């Protein structure tokens, strides 16, 4: 058998690929006896082991068959393969019977909602990327982290590489429960604390165990797009209730009519507007849940970052009725690639949630859980939190200053008192021109992200959800200068209106803009 070998390439793969192509093209028809591995190796002047590897691969894929005492034979008929596979696909681009997908898959759609929920503008990673949701990676104590990883990896035993409990590592659940009780005022217990693969998994599993098609679910308007996609996929009936300066308008809940199964809120730092739910509305929300039997899903995704006051007590910590499900994540404090978060469940939902998680992924990665457990129990997490909170606060203030210096009255900053992102609104930028403005910014190496995916319909004011925690001061400054250059041609003069007494007394953050942004309602 003549095979032209090129020594600059892998010999095994050349032999394998040549024989495979000759079988598929009909040069080697079915039942053709192949040369023995020793004979072919001698012909090609290569090691016999190389030929054996190629033959073994072809046998494994079904192109050849070994018959004891007789030799190795071609086992695939060339019918239908007289031309290359690429030519066949080209001639038949559409399958005769397209795949049938489930109602769930059809409701999800075909677009992956990958953070940060872009406005349909895929592009390479920009030099000046105001991506929201990214933490201050540069502040992570890397030497300590690497030491903990190395120590845990060095201790791995046979038990450590087996399946772990679906609830999560007992030590980690203990330290998470203690942390939540101390810092978030949560009524926690290790037995009700479950480790999950990021908060998004928690949202998905909670929705799966609670919602049937047609059930009513209340979402904030605007809201985190990830939860809307989850409940849409399950066939829920979504009721969007607007958010104003005091958070979700709980007074509108009674107007829904009919039972509500789940209410999703981000009370400590509303996503994306950044408003904080008032105590009065937190209590009203709890009372509504008790009266109607609804569950409250409290997504506390970045509550550790509060800059102008002490963090508010969680809704879960205020609820005596067991109607609140509390979700948190390590992504904003450590890094998203960990894919670890936690959920604190009422006793009534504990067993169904654990069963659903075990069916989904069996367990979360034990090594990562062990490292975080050590990081928290040895005090590194608390020190890291204090350091990050101070530094991120400085970066937030720097971004606000840069925005005001460049845009002046053309920008209104919303939600600047907490979190690792803020909402920049441009009253003079027509919303229908925002996509073009974002494209112009991308040409200048600046990536910014529209608030539009957080709304059911296009919001009345053009807004950008802007992260700042992961950028250097130099990059933030240059990025804002370039952003101003890109957006300026699209911004029209806005007639100034004297602020009302309420707005004069409001904290920094554009109360009037918040009200306008919240004016898009839907059911």
DSSP 261-306: -EEEE--SS-TTT-----HHHHHHHHHHHHHHTPEEEEE-TTTT-B
Same domain, 399 and 417: yes
d(C-alpha 219, C-alpha 229), whole Å: 11
Look at residue 12 in the predicted model and tell me its pLDDT. 83
| Residue that terminates a domain, selected from 382, 407, 442 | 382
In contact, 437 and 429? CB cutoff 8 Å: yes
Whether 3 and 14 have beta carbons less than 8 Å apart is answered as yes
Q: Are residues 260 and 367 in the same domain?
A: yes
Is the residue at 201 inside a domain?
yes
Query: What CATH number does residue 85 fall under?
Result: 1.10.10.10
Low-confidence ranges of the chain (pLDDT < 50): 80-84, 117-122, 497-516, 518-523
**Gap between the Cα atoms of 393 and 398, Å rounded:** 9
Is 523 within a domain?
no
Query: What pLDDT score was predicted for residue 429?
Result: 94
Find, among 47, 63, 44, the residue nearest to 55 by Cα: 63
pLDDT of residue 94: 59
| Domain boundary, last residue among 347, 382, 417 | 382
Whose CA is closest to 361, among 167, 224, 138? 167
pLDDT of residue 482: 96
Beta strands in 157-249 (DSSP E): 193-196, 216-221, 237-244, 247-248
Structure tokens at 366: 């034990």
Same domain, residue pair 412 and 298: no
Cα separation, 59 vs 45, in Å, equals: 22
DSSP 71: E
User: What pLDDT sits at residue 77?
Assistant: 63
Q: Are residues 367 and 259 in the same domain?
A: yes
Q: Which two tokens stand for residue 69?
A: 């005492």
* pTM score of the predicted model: 0.75
- Degrees, nearest 5: CA angle 385-389-392: 130
What residues make up the domain containing 487? 128-134+389-517
């Amino acid at each position: 058998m003549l095979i032209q070998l090129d020594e600059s390439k892998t010999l095994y793969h050349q032999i394998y690929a040549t024989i495979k192509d000759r079988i598929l093209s009909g040069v080697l028809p079915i039942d053709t006896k192949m040369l023995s591995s020793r004979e072919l190796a001698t012909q090609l002047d290569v090691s016999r082991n190389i030929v054996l590897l190629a033959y073994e691969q072809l046998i494994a894929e079904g192109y050849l068959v070994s018959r004891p005492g007789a030799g190795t034979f071609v086992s695939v008929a060339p019918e239908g393969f007289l031309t290359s596979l690429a030519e066949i696909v080209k001639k038949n681009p559409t399958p005769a019977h397209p795949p049938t997908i489930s109602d769930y898959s059809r409701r999800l759609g075909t677009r992956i909602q990958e953070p940060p929920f872009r406005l349909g503008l895929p592009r390479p990673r920009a030099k000046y990327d105001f991506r929201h949701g990214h933490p201050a990676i540069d502040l992570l104590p890397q030497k300590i982290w690497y030491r903990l990883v190395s120590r845990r990896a060095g201790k791995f035993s046979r038990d450590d590489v087996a399946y772990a409990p679906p609830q999560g590592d007992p030590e980690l659940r203990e330290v998470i429960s203690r942390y939540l009780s101390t810092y978030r005022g949560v009524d926690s217990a290790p037995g009700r604390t479950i480790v999950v693969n990021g908060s998004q998994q928690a949202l998905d599993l909670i929705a799966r165990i609670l919602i049937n098609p047609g059930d009513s679910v209340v979402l904030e308007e605007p809201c985190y797009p990830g939860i809307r996609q989850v409940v849409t996929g399950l066939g829920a009936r979504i009721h969007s209730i607007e958010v104003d300066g005091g958070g979700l308008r709980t007074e509108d809940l009674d107007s829904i009519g009919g039972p509500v199964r789940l209410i999703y809120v981000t009370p400590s730092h509303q996503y994306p507007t950044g408003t904080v739910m008032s105590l009065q509305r937190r209590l009203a929300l709890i009372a509504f849940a008790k009266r109607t039997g609804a569950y409250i899903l409290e997504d506390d995704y970045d509550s550790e970052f509060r800059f102008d006051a002490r963090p508010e007590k969680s809704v879960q910590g205020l609820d005596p009725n067991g109607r609140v499900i509390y979700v948190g994540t390590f992504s904003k404090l450590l890094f998203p690639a960990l894919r670890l978060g936690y959920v604190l469940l009422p006793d009534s939902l504990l067993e169904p949630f654990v069963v659903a998680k075990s069916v989904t992924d069996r367990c979360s990665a034990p090594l990562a859980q062990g490292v975080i457990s050590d990081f928290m129990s040895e005090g590194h997490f608390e020190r890291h939190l204090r350091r990050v909170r101070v530094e991120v606060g400085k970066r937030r203030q720097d971004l606000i200053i840069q925005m005001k210096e460049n845009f002046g009255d053309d920008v209104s900053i919303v939600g600047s008192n907490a979190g690792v992102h803020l909402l920049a609104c441009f009253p003079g930028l027509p919303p229908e021109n925002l996509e073009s403005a974002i494209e112009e910014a991308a040409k200048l190496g600046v990536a910014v992200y529209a608030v539009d995916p957080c709304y059911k319909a296009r919001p009345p004011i053009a807004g950008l959800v802007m992260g700042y925690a992961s950028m250097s001061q130099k990059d933030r400054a240059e990025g804002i200068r370039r952003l101003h250059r890109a957006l300026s041609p699209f911004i029209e003069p806005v007639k100034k209106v004297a602020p009302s007494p309420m707005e004069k007394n409001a904290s920094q953050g554009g109360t009037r803009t918040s009200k306008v942004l919240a004016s898009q309602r839907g059911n």
